[in-house]
Amino acid sequence: MSPSKQSLDALRIARAPQAARKNSPATLSVLLVAFTAIAVAAWWYQRPPVFQVRTAVVSKPASAGEQTLLNASGYVTARVDSTVSSKVTGKVVEVFIEEGMAVEANQVLARTDSSNLEKNLRLTEAQLQATRKMLDETKATMLHAERELRRVSQLAASRVASQAELDKSETEVISLRARLERQIADIRVKEVDVEVWQQQVEDTIIRAPFAGIVTTKDAQPGEMISPISAGGGFTRTGICTIVDMSSLEIEVDVNESYINRVEAGQSVVATLDAYPDWKIPARVIAIIPTANRQKATVKVRVGFDKLDARILPQMSVKVSFRGSESAAAASQPSTKIPASALARDQDQDIVWVVKAGLVERRAVSVGEKEGDEVSILAGLETGERIVVSGTEMLADKARIVEIK
């Protein structure tokens, strides 16, 4: 007989309701959002930095009838420049010049003490005067002796005077003639002595050797001056320095590797550091035919086409040697960049090239610098974009954003 339904139900084991699943869809969504946030935060803090930089496009120099073949620097110099000194050692008593004063040739600049020389001059002049008086006395005696000789000669011819008296008169005349010639020679010597002392007195007056501008005043009244250095430090060797402003020119030391780009008569553009926007036309005067082996340079003289009052001696100047377009093409690089784009890395010139928002380190060969631009001999192509500011913290593959 089959068990009843109630009996079977009584035999069942009572079980608790199954717990709800822990990984419900809502929980998974929360965990996914949290994981994504953590990943984004980690990426945000570990992402490569983005640098703000300014960029420029590598350009090609503009074509012109004349282009720069070579850039160099030098100084304004005066071809006629003199430190004026005294011919003799003496004490300065008067100085008539100041710095910046214009002077003419032979103008009196200063005077040294001439009191001793003037006394010697007066003494020599007095001796000359005395010698001349003695000559006058000898001439008078000579005239009397000649008359006496004529009288004795007549008496001797009449046998009134003896031969001894005649010989005595002749000897007296000969002696006086010799004395007269010696005194005439003495006068000439004294005249030369006077000229010597006059010249020495004149030498105490210091005059300008040429017209120019006084640039330095080197002595004051009361100081000793000498044409040679006394070695003690208390003796001046010059009164002042005079510069002939019409003789100003430029001296440039050109690297001997580039001297083949320079020739006499070549057109030059000069720029004074004091007036960077003023382009001064000039021309090569001469190339000094020797090199400095210590510096490996050759000196070049450059003359201004027209002088100006703003051009002063010893000013620093930059010069650009110009040439025809064909000559420039052979010597001039094909690209130019701003000087601020250059950086140094391990003794090498580099630039940072922009590609797809990243920068790439590029080694370059640098040529001449002209103003704010630098010529690039190798390493860059026209049209490439480079960083011109904000290069201090850049590295290869660094991300950049361009600012204006």
Percent above pLDDT 90 for the chain: 36
Residue 220 included in any domain:
yes
Tens-digit pLDDT profile for residues 272-297: 999 998 999 999 999 999 999 899 99
Whether 57 and 126 map to the same domain: the answer is no
Q: What range does the domain containing 219 cover?
A: 82-113+205-243
Tens-digit pLDDT profile for residues 33-58: 777 767 656 555 555 566 666 777 77
Burial of 80 per CB tally in 10 Å (0-12, 13-18, 19+)? middle
- Binning pLDDT at 50, 70 and 90, where does residue 404 land? low
What is the model's pLDDT at position 337? Answer: 78
What is the model's pLDDT at position 8? Answer: 54
Domain C-terminal end among 305, 331, 357:
331
Tens-digit pLDDT profile for residues 337-356: 787 777 777 777 888 788 77
What is the model's pLDDT at position 20? Answer: 46
Residue 210 included in any domain:
yes
What is the model's pLDDT at position 339? Answer: 78
- Helix H, strand E, coil C: the string for the chain is CCCCHHHHHHHCCCCCCCCCCCCCHHHHHHHHHHHHHHHHHHHHHHCCCEEEEEEEECECCCCCCEEEEEEEEEEEEECCEEEECCCCCEEEEEECCCCCCEECCCCEEEEECCHHHHHHHHHHHHHHHHHHHHHHHHHHHHHHHHHHHHHHHHHHHCCCCCHHHHHHHHHHHHHHHHHHHHHHHHHHHHHHHHHHHHHHHHHCEEECCCCEEEEEECCCCCCEECCCCCCCCCEECCCEEEECHHHEEEEEEEECCCHHHCCCCCEEEEEECCCCCCEEEEEEEEEEEEEECCCCEEEEEEEECCCCCCCCCCCEEEEEEEEEHHHHHHHCCCEEEEHHHCEECCCCEEEEEEECCEEEEEECEEEEEECCEEEEEECCCCCCEEEEECCCCCCCCCEEEECC
Q: Which domain CATH number covers 100? A: 2.40.50.100
What is the model's pLDDT at position 392? Answer: 66
Q: Please name the amino acid found at residue 323.
A: G
Kindly state the average pLDDT of the residues 174-196: 89
- Binning pLDDT at 50, 70 and 90, where does residue 102 land? very high
Burial of 333 per CB tally in 10 Å (0-12, 13-18, 19+)? middle
Domain C-terminal end among 297, 331, 365:
331
pTM above 0.85, yes or no: no
Kindly state the average pLDDT of the residues 177-195: 90
Q: pLDDT averaged over the chain?
A: 81
Residue 46 included in any domain:
no
Q: Which domain CATH number covers 56? A: 2.40.420.20
- Binning pLDDT at 50, 70 and 90, where does residue 19 land? very low
Residue 169 included in any domain:
yes
Kindly state the average pLDDT of the residues 132-158: 82
